[in-house]
Structure 1
Amino acid sequence: MDNLINDINILDGSEAEACETVKVSKKTNTGKDRKLYIESYGCQMNFSDSEIVSSIMSENGFDTTSDYEDADVIFLNTCSIREKAEQTVRMRLSQFNGVKRKKPELMIGVLGCMAERLKTKLLDEEKIVDLVVGPDAYRDLPNLVGEVDEGQKAVNTFLSREETYADITPVRLNSNGVTAFISIMRGCDNMCSFCVVPFTRGRERSRDPYSIVKEAQDLFDKGYREVTLLGQNVDSYKWSPEVNNKARLEKSEVSEIVNFANLIEMVAQIHPDLRVRFSTSHPKDITDEVLHTMKKYENICKCIHLPVQSGNTRVLELMNRTYTRDWYINRVDAIRSILGEDCGITSDMITGFCTETEEEHKDTLTLMDYVKYDFSYMFFYSERPGTLAEKKYEDDIPLEVKKRRLSEVIAKQKETSFERNKRDIGKVHKVLIEGRSKKSAEQLQGRNTANKVVIFDNEGQQKGQYVNVLVEDCSAGTLFGKITERKNDL
């Protein structure tokens, strides 16, 4: 997950979902008969999926609108990772109920993980919902819309072992024209005991690397200067060609099996000015080969999201994370050794998992002291129906204890984030300009290789340009500086 909140990218279990990022479709007007309004909740993968949905609908007679009251069809692309995420969607549906009373022909659909988890039950619980579609069934949307047009309710929550949407060119929603997401794989084979993703997104499958490179090249040609390769676990990306692809592989001198290190190198070689990021890495799978490839290419950003969830080995075993505290530390040491101390490391953490003791909670705090994360996404444990933890373990930690432990983790992360940012003062950073600062039109903002936001005075530069910025000050979540002619130190 990669949501943004406040100045420091910290989420907690109480306020996180209330502040969960909502992405609304941009307005297009190409003369099509009907208008689609789409909102996305949750992770970057959902945002990427909404761009695929918009493309499919555009090819089937729909423009998009940024005003749901103008829409003929409303889609909510949902998250099911926490209970409150689903509550947020239900509240939004209740708001749309008033619109549908005035406009009975309005079609409302629920897409994504919540749709996959609840299936037909959602139609009974939310009477205004006409259409329920899981993450692997978006190609069927035009047919399902047709069924609703004929007066029926429509459902498709089939999970595929092959679907990657590799041939669909996404419609970039709310794009800044500089950065974009590229989905490289779908599903997850990791059965973390607290997680619903394997049940809502299906088994892991990797996308054809040539379609990924083609999409990245097309984005660069259109002026984009940064792509983020997305997957539930990008390190396990692995693609093997079918027989009819073999000649193409031999011609390009690519080995028959393309792993994640091979893929990021292929994308990095498109152009030195195209930055490459990726999310999310799994500690059990990230390899030295990936790290050495990152070191080899300046345009592969030096930032790794490496969710730990807990700093205690027994709790990690209960979570079925398939690594130990020592294994995780080994991977952090490898990152620091190969990529240097300035490489950004970010994390996810859960406090108050089933049977977690005070000493085990302290192990998380001491691991944070060791790693020195640049920022983290932090939650207290919320039991989800159908998960292995819900079936096997008692959710026995009182809510007030979960929240108190979470507050301790948040306090430590704020302190560490500030410490990490202070290390950047006096250094020159290569920054990709993403646009104006949110707080002042007189300033611009962008990100450095470690994915830190950098604010500096607007001297006439344009978004999509690279500039060297001397950092002069910082907060816990932002760097402040001025443009300089010096080369970057990172």
Structure 2
Amino acid sequence: MSKDAKDYSKYFDFSDAKLLSEDENGKRIRIRGREINILSEPDHRQEKQRGKEDVQVLYDTMVSEEFMTLGKDKHYLVYTFGCQMNEHDSETIKGLLEQMGYTPTEDRKLADIILLNTCAIRENAEDKVFGELGHLKHLKVEKPDMLLGVCGCMAQEEGVVRRILQKHGFIDLIFGTHNLHRLPHLIQEALFSKEMVVEVWSKEGDIVENLPKKREGLRGWVNIMYGCDKFCTYCIVPYTRGKERSRRPDDVIAEVRELARQGFKEITLLGQNVNAYGKDFTDIQFSFGDLMDEIRKIDIPRVRFTTSHPRDFDDRLIEVLAKKGNLVEHIHLPVQSGSSQVLKKMSRKYSREVYLELVGKIKKAIPDAVLTTDIIVGFPGETDEQFEETLSLVREVGFDFAYTFIYSPREGTPAAIMEDNVPMDVKKKRLQTLNDAIVEHSRKSNDRMMGAVVEVLVEGVSKNKDHMLSGRTRSNKLVHFEGTPELVGSFVHVRITDPMTWYIKGEMIPEPVVTSDAV
């Protein structure tokens, strides 16, 4: 390695890395013949530091005229990995690209720019992205003028950026979660300089309003806040998404009203921890429950939210959800483990008993509430007895569905340096046992719906049978029934005739005869 590149050894471990220049605007490096313009880079130490400065809300964020022709007669393709937050970020990315003149395409050979919006929550998510990059490398060789970029949560990780710079030098653009609004500038820089451009902000950014979004389908995502302050020991999100920043209530409510005006049938309020909404406000007292109470008054048929942290799920929110109306009965309430000892090691900041007490409050106020959850098995040090506590909690609560995972260490998190002493074969066995317990209750819950009439929002036509439609109930249960394509996007009533484990079958009826709020 050259003397000039010594300070950048965390990125480069080969002899031809050379620092070309460095100033307050970043640094330029040449590696294996490719020049890299690093405007800013991820730094976990900075990501752990929560700034005390005020978060600014920016409204004047329109794409300037100088960028509006960059995409003229060009096509874009965005691949999205991960959660609903990533899906919503991709809506913003697509909106920005189309304001720049780009046209969408599903044909990667036609695309002039391909962006991979990535997820960092689990190791297999990263594996998928790097596998996709391997396929795209051949396309980049055939079409060298095509821009290829990696963005999202993976880009916020030091190790990922290091791996890309070392082994995937054909990438043109790397940016993170805090600077989506900078996309037109970054594309212009990559196009004109012909260099790889890296801009990842380690410290959380401001709240940027009025960015264009390309929404498709019947449902709309609405961010109400960004970031997370919980720092669960296994979770990379506080580093990749930054500290908690709540959007102003008037801005959220205005966006929901606009979606209602546009005819959206369902919205989902998004945040890493929606229950913490408003806790960072210094000038007003306005909680998530208060926000839901205001949105309840807007003429939009269904309102959902995800995801919630049990520690911040307060009595005010339960009180508002019990009013129902357009607030659905489905509540996703991640527990992660049924053992208080494991929860403490996870730094979840609640116990098994506190979680069960919260569930009791919810079911008392909303008897027909349908609860789903997230659970991790095989966390470092988890014993057989602690896993049995998780099983008993699952049976006591009676979750209708659960996202279940084998623990996956994430570089930079406290859990990553814990002794991972649970053998993989034990982890797999526990996962199967847990899934069997979830299946048992899911089937019982669906069986109880036999003969009930439910309201279904029709989402689409079956891929295999043209005469079959599918949609979801208020409680998010998937329903299949016979119908015609023109019903897509409308609400219909369906009588349940054949409950299955993960979905239910039924027959459409012209008018509801007996309705059930428990669906």
TM-score w.r.t. the length of structure 1 is 0.87
2:213 equivalent to 1:170: yes
Q: For residue 190 of structure 1, report the CA deviation from its aligned partner.
A: 0.9
Q: Which residue of 2 aligns with 1:215?
A: 255
Q: 2:224 aligns with which of 184, 193, 200?
A: 184
Secondary structure class of the residue paired with 1:238: coil
Counterpart residue type for residue 68 of structure 1:
R
CA change 1:54–1:223 in 2 (3 A) is same
Structure 1 match to 2:6: none
**Could you tell me how far 1:240 is from its partner in structure 2?**
7.2
Is contact 1:147-1:153 (8 Å) kept?
A: no
Which residue, 418, 425, 432 being the options, matches 2:457?
432
C-alpha spacing 1:147/1:124, structure 2 compared with 1 (3 Å): farther
Q: CA deviation at 1:31?
A: 8.7
One-letter amino acid of the structure 2 residue matched with residue 313 of structure 1:
S
State the distance in 2 between where 1:232 and 1:475 align.
Answer: 32
Contact 1:470-1:481 within 8 A present in 2 as well: yes
Say if 1:207 and 1:239, in contact at 8 Å, map to a contact too.
no
Structure 2 residue aligned with 1:469: 494
Paired residues for 1:33-44 under 5 Å:
33-44=73-84
Alignment of 1:13-412 (within 5 A): 32-118=72-158, 120-121=161-162, 122-149=164-191, 150-172=193-215, 175-176=216-217, 178-238=218-278, 256-271=284-299, 273-340=300-367, 342-391=368-417, 393-412=418-437
Cα separation, 2, equivalents of 1:311 and 1:110: 37
Query: What residue identity is the alignment partner of 1:434?
Result: E
Aligned partners of 1:466, 1:48: CA distance in 2, in Å? 24
CA contact (8 A) 1:379 1:406 kept: yes
User: How many Å separate the matches in 2 of 1:166 and 1:375?
Assistant: 35
Cα contact 1:282–1:306 (8 A) shared by 2 = yes
Q: What is the CA-CA distance between 1:241 and the residue it aligns to?
A: 7.0
Letter in 1 for 2:312: D
Aligned to 2:8: none
Q: Provide the C-alpha distance between the structure 2 equivalents of 1:105 and 1:52, rounded to a whole number of angstroms.
A: 24
- The alpha carbon displacement at 1:460 in A equals 7.3
Query: Structure 1: which 5+ residue stretches go unaligned?
Result: 1-29, 244-255
Deviations 1:88-121 (A, max 9, x none): 1011001001111111111111001111103642
Per-residue CA deviation, residues 171-222 of structure 1 (Å, 9 max, x unaligned), is 12xx32x112111111111110001111111111111222222222222222
The offset of 1:284, in angstroms, is: 0.6
Partner AA of 2:341 in structure 1: R
CA shift for structure 1 position 480: 1.5
Distance 1:331 1:339 in 2: 12
Q: 8 Å contact 1:182–1:212 — kept in the other structure? A: yes
The separation in 2 between residues aligned to 1:239 and 1:197, in whole angstroms, is 19
Rg: which structure is higher?
A: 2
Cα distance in 1 between the residues matched to 2:226 and 2:497 = 41
SS at match of 1:354: coil
Equivalent pair of 1:110/1:132 in contact (CA under 8 Å): yes
SS of 1:284's equivalent in the other structure is helix
d(CA) in 1 for partners of 2:74 and 2:281?
40
Asked whether the 8 Å contact 2:271–2:307 carries over to 1, the reply is: yes
Q: Which amino acid aligns with 1:77?
A: N
1:432·1:466 contact (CA, 8 Å) conserved in 2?
Answer: yes
Deviation at 1:487, TM superposition (A): 4.6
Could you report, residue by residue, the CA deviation over 1:57-92 in whole angstroms, capped at 9, with x for unpaired residues? 222232221111111111000111111211110110
**Which residue of structure 1 aligns with residue 4 of structure 2?**
none
1:435 aligned partner, one-letter code: G
Cα deviation 1:230-282 (Å, max 9, x = unaligned): 11111011177788xxxxxxxxxxxx3321111122222111x4210000011
Structure 1 residue 286: deviation in Å?
Answer: 0.7
**Are the structure 2 counterparts of residues 120 and 359 from structure 1 closer, same or farther at C-alpha, using a change threshold of 3 Å?**
closer
Give how far 1:297 is off. Answer: 2.9
Give me the whole-angstrom Cα distance separating, in 2, the residues matched to 1:335 and 1:140.
42
2:194 aligns to what SS in structure 1? coil
Displacement of 1:124 in angstroms is: 2.4
Q: Using CA pairs under 8 Å that are at least 6 residues apart, name the structure with larger relative contact order, 1 or 2.
A: 1
Q: SS at 1:277's partner residue?
A: strand
